Amino acid sequence: MFKTVKDVQDYCKANDVKMIDFKMVDINGRWRHITIPAVRFNEDTMVYGIGFDGSNYGYAPVEKSDMVFIPDLSTARIDPFVDELTLTMTGDVCIIDPKENRPFDQYPRNVALRANEYMKELGIADKMIIGPEFEFHLIDHISYQSDRNRVAYEIDTAQADWNTGVNDVQNFGYQVPKKGGYHISAPQDITYDLRSKICMMMEDWGIDVKYHHHEVGGSGQVEIEVELGEMTDMADKTMIIKYIVKNAAVKAGKTATFMPKPIYSEAGNGMHVHMLLFKDGKPVFYDENGYSGLSKEAHWFMGGLLKHAKSLCALTNPSTNSFKRLVPGFEAPVTIGYATSNRSAVIRIPAYAKSPDKKRFELRNPDATCNPYYAYSAILMAGLDGIKNKIDPEANGWGPYDFNLYTLSDEEKAKLDALPTTLDEALDALEADHDYLTAGGVFPEPLLKVWIKNKREEAKVINQIPHPAEFGFYYDL
């Protein structure tokens, strides 16, 4: 939005902006923020930054935990969810050095920037374009508790089929059937207006919206899809989208979750990532004579993704809940393979994307519990490894699977390679297979070690808590 400090100062004076808010990303992909009065913003802010204690953000220890946040003026926008008129912006984090501050190599945005630099150094491409699809639930009520004597959660939305029998308040009877919500219209689609408002807020923030609609899950599942964009910029926008969705929902008297599987036996929330590369303004992935119109570089890129699919899950699906979504029967991929127009494979090539500058494929396993900077960077690094080593997905037996993988016999399914079924399995894979991530100094080894350590601790805690369903199976034995 701005190029210089003076541009910011002039805008604040002309529009009576009171505060400037700086949003930073912790290791897990949550925004944290610090705010200053607008009159305090000056050239020193860009030189010396905003100091903070980085040890509280979860990264691997460094020799000094004192860090500085350096704003990116181009990301500035008015925050629509605060009372005092506030300009908000993201940026990058540096470690304080006596002579000159240096970029903190573990900071998510810096990892993404380095991944882009590495791609250019290899000469493979100069731009990675991606397009995430954002699936989430809009819910009326959520409560949860995990204590020694009580483990429970309750989730509710007025449109769910379990509310057809509600009789103590007025009931209009337009509930949505289980797994029957795909593109459902009003009056069943009760969040239509809210989604339109969310999309307009996204447009105001500089995010181009492709469309929005109700998704398969009858219990409040919806989707917003955005136009394709450059990788690091799209990681920024992923953070913004989640911020807008959650705050707009609360403002409308609802709550939003991007959890992969918030409701048992309903469709889960993925974050499918479409991708393509450009070099000197020309598409790298297009070849009219290749399978499904894709070039050999595109196939090698897919080969890299499929070779590293299991370890990638530790970054693209980094929650125990992620693997409750990655099960057969809910349009979530479980098979490591590729195909055209096939939603049951990890990689799907959309048949509708036909022009050279739109020819692409999508990775279908990621979900929005990921840190988008790490996830998108890891996807790029896996694909680059595929191109460097000319990993042919067909020669490796990963497809093309141009048939429904869910309908195969158990014997046929046993011949196919599958994604991890638990977070621990994904972390095991990442421990064994991460050289492609550290290539070019993109992912620092200490970052991966602390990531694995933190996620193993999360999984250990959750795995040790008795599950309510266990009482039904085992209490009377």
Which residues are known to be catalytic? 53, 133, 135, 215, 223, 272, 343, 362, 364
- Residue whose pair of structure tokens reads 């000094």 in the numeric block: 64
Q: Which amino acid is at 389?
A: N
- Beta-carbon contacts of 41 under 8 Å, excluding residues fewer than 6 positions away, are 5, 8, 9, 12, 20
Which residue reads 């609609």 in tokens? 213
Counted residue by residue, the chain has a size of 477
Report which of 382, 353, 332 is spatially closest to residue 274, judged by C-alpha positions: 353
Q: Which two tokens stand for residue 152?
A: 């429970």
Rounded Cα distance between 343 and 403, Å, is 10
What is the spatial distance between Cα 220 and Cα 190, in angstroms, rounded to a whole number?
A: 9
Separation between Cα atoms, residue 257 and residue 220, nearest integer Å: 10
Q: Any residues with CB less than 8 A from the CB of 222 and at least 6 apart, and which?
A: 135, 136, 137, 138, 191, 195, 212, 213, 214, 215
The residues, any chain, with a CB within 8 Å of residue 243's CB and separated by 6 or more, are: 31
Strands (E), 341-386: 345-349, 361-363
Residue 31 DSSP SS3: strand
How far apart are the C-alpha atoms of 344 and 335, rounded to whole Å? 7
User: Tokens standing for 325?
Assistant: 């979504």
Beta bridge partners of 361: 275
Question: Exposed (0-12), middle (13-18) or buried (19+): which is 85, by Cβ within 10 Å?
Answer: middle
Counting beta carbons within 10 angstroms of the beta carbon of residue 35, is it exposed (0 to 12), middle (13 to 18) or buried (19 or more)? middle
Nearest one of 380, 218, 394, 409 to 305, comparing CA atoms? 380
With beta carbons less than 8 A apart as the criterion, state whether 196 and 214 touch: no
